[in-house]
Structure 1
Amino acid sequence: MPEFFWELAKLPLLTGGAATIALVTADFGGWRPGRYLLKPLAAACFIWLALSLGATASNYGLVMLAGLILCMLGDITLMFESEGAFLTGLVAFLCGHLAYVAAFLQLPINTYGVLLSLSPTIILVAITLRWLCPHLEGPMRHAVPAYIGVIAVMLVAAGGTLGLAGAGLIILGAWGFALSDLAVARRQFISSSRINQLWGTPLYFAAQYLLAASVCFYSAG
């Protein structure tokens, strides 16, 4: 990790961490005003983190920043509970995943890392489709599998960074993001239990902070 990391990252990480904990508490307690305040704040903090660590100083950082902004838009949209809002959020997150793919492809590709990531990605996709498909209706029958396909591409592209500086942050962030989507899917299609947010929300924001932090390895180039 670059020496300057903690000095520059401390404030956005502490603020974002506190906002995320408060958001989980508000969601679990059913306090909706807290959700409207805290979710945008927690999302703004991962953009703040990327900017603090020099996202605008590299092609990788700029594309990653675009993905983070798209994910923030998805976060804001999903605060409103309707099918239209969910579809809009789904599109925003889908574009965010694609932006992350584009960011990873700014870096040299490790073929072994790509191949290594294929098996766990295929297993995740197969299990998720088998679990969700019986619960999908209307446009979701096509939209959700397409979204899962984009997630798979993102995971494989993240695997292609194996061995590079920051690869640990990238791979953990990509997988954390993908797994956190399971909580969103479960809430939308299977059960609205507040338990979904209890694990999905912190995992999602931790993943975004990891991806945002990865820009520090490329801020000089």
Structure 2
Amino acid sequence: MNEWSGLWLGWGGFSLLGLLWAEWQRRRALRALFKVLCSLGFLFFALSLGLASLFAQLVFAGLLLSAVGDVLLLFRSNRAFLAGLLAFLLAHLAYVGAFVQVGSPSLGGLLLVLLGGYFWLRWLWPHLAGWRGPVMAYGLVISLMLWVGLGVPKPQVWLGALLFYLSDLFVARERFVVQEPLNPLLGLPLYYVAQYLLAGAVR
């Protein structure tokens, strides 16, 4: 880690605290500002560490697509949500492409992911209505990302993949089950810690 990467890591921590405060205070404009700043932070954090390998370049592609998804999810329309879902789906495919460069998925990891998928699908299914197709497609791709990520012998990767997966449960809960402050206050730290971990894995 160099002085620039330390700066961007601090930027991310400060922006995340601001974002959580804005969420708690229900300040929509500040929420949007801090969310964009936090997402920019993980992009510049990765860039400051260098993108010399194909693995690093694919991880950065996943980060960039995630940042696009973050912006799209700031809007409340169904069209923006669907576009954000697509951006994150593509981000997970980029992560899968990166992870297979350096890891080997295991049967144990697959069984764990299938078990988790069974429970989240059973929980969400009654609430999805017309969103079942898109959510199923997204769920399959993020489950694939988690499975492949768990097979990478880098703690930043498998932990980042797991935290990303868990953070999306709070996004789904907020969108489809119940809207309450607990969802972003728990989901956002999980998500941003995951992205900064994955960004840090490029070195």
Indicate the SS of the match to 2:129: coil
Q: Equivalent residue for 1:105?
A: 100
Indicate conservation of the 8 Å contact 1:39/1:75, yes or no: yes
Indicate the SS of the match to 1:161: coil
Higher relative contact order (CA 8 A, sep 6+): 1
The question of 1:144 aligning with 2:135 is answered: yes
Indicate the SS of the match to 1:106: helix
Match of 2:11 among 15, 32, 41: 15
Render the CA deviation track for 1:152-195: whole Å, top value 9, x for unaligned.
Answer: 11111112213xxxx10000000000100011000000111011
Q: Equivalent residue for 2:78?
A: 83
Give the TM-score of the pair, scaled to structure 2: 0.97
Q: Equivalent residue for 2:185?
A: 198
Whole-Å separation in 2 of the counterparts to 1:159 and 1:193: 31
Name the count of aligned residue pairs.
203
Q: Equivalent residue for 1:157?
A: 148
Q: Equivalent residue for 1:52?
A: 48
Give the TM-score of the pair, scaled to structure 1: 0.89
Q: Equivalent residue for 1:214?
A: 201
The question of 1:180 aligning with 2:176 is answered: no
Identity of counterpart residues, as a percentage? 44
Shift of 1:54: 0.6
Indicate conservation of the 8 Å contact 1:28/1:197, yes or no: no
Q: Equivalent residue for 1:39?
A: 35
Render the CA deviation track for 1:46-93: whole Å, top value 9, x for unaligned.
Answer: 0001000112x1111111111000000000000011111111100000
Render the CA deviation track for 1:26-49: whole Å, top value 9, x for unaligned.
Answer: 012100010121111100000001
